[in-house]
Amino acid sequence: MLVSAKEMLDKAKAGHYAVGQFNINNLEWTKSVLLTAQELKSPVILGVSEGAGKYMTGFKTVAAMVKAMDEELGITVPVALHLDHGTYEGCYKCIKAGFTSIMFDGSHYPIEENVEKTKELVAVAHQLGLSIEAEVGSIGGEEDGVVGMGECADPNECKAIADLGVDMLAAGIGNIHGKYPANWPGLSFETLAAVQE
């Protein structure tokens, strides 16, 4: 059953457990993740990057595949279909395609524009019962051709985005996708603590 990520994450927070997000790139990975989640009786978030969406011939194809597999495999655990690190345009494509959760990565915009676009997307997503994640401070590493060292988010900017009603907040604390370079300074738990306040 496809649900919003917020629904399952609220239950996880109350129950003191984690929910895994696994990015999918093809039918085989999707099937493996769904069957394993079912076997473990664990809710799961299926993440899809814009690059993976293009590879699988578009977000409509991805949504149709996940919905059909969920039904045909008899999956009974909650499953969220989530756009991972999406552009503004990508968020609207996933909403139209039937995703149950989106992430708007506006971290590359000036904070005022990030706030403006995030506010709009929060209203649209919540009106349709979707969950929405937003990002402040870029995540380092390389994904879909974007390279970064992993900056730390400004806690005041995080508050500005969180106050818009996002369901999840991705705040850069020096984290990196992929291989960590030798000159990586490490995670900033001080930044994390300041953001949590």
Q: Give me the active site residues, please.
A: 84
CA distance 8 to 38: 15
Cα 107 to Cα 146: distance, rounded to the nearest angstrom:
12
∠ CA 63-127-195 to the nearest 5 degrees? 90
Name the nearest CA neighbour of 164 among 108, 111, 121: 121
- Beta-carbon contacts of 88 under 8 Å, excluding residues fewer than 6 positions away, are 104, 106, 117, 121
Region for residue 176 given its phi and psi (left: phi exceeds 0; alpha: psi -120 to 50; beta: otherwise)? beta
The Cα 104–Cα 84 span in angstroms is 8
Q: CA separation (Å) from 48 to 25, 110, 168, 180, 183?
A: 7, 25, 16, 22, 29
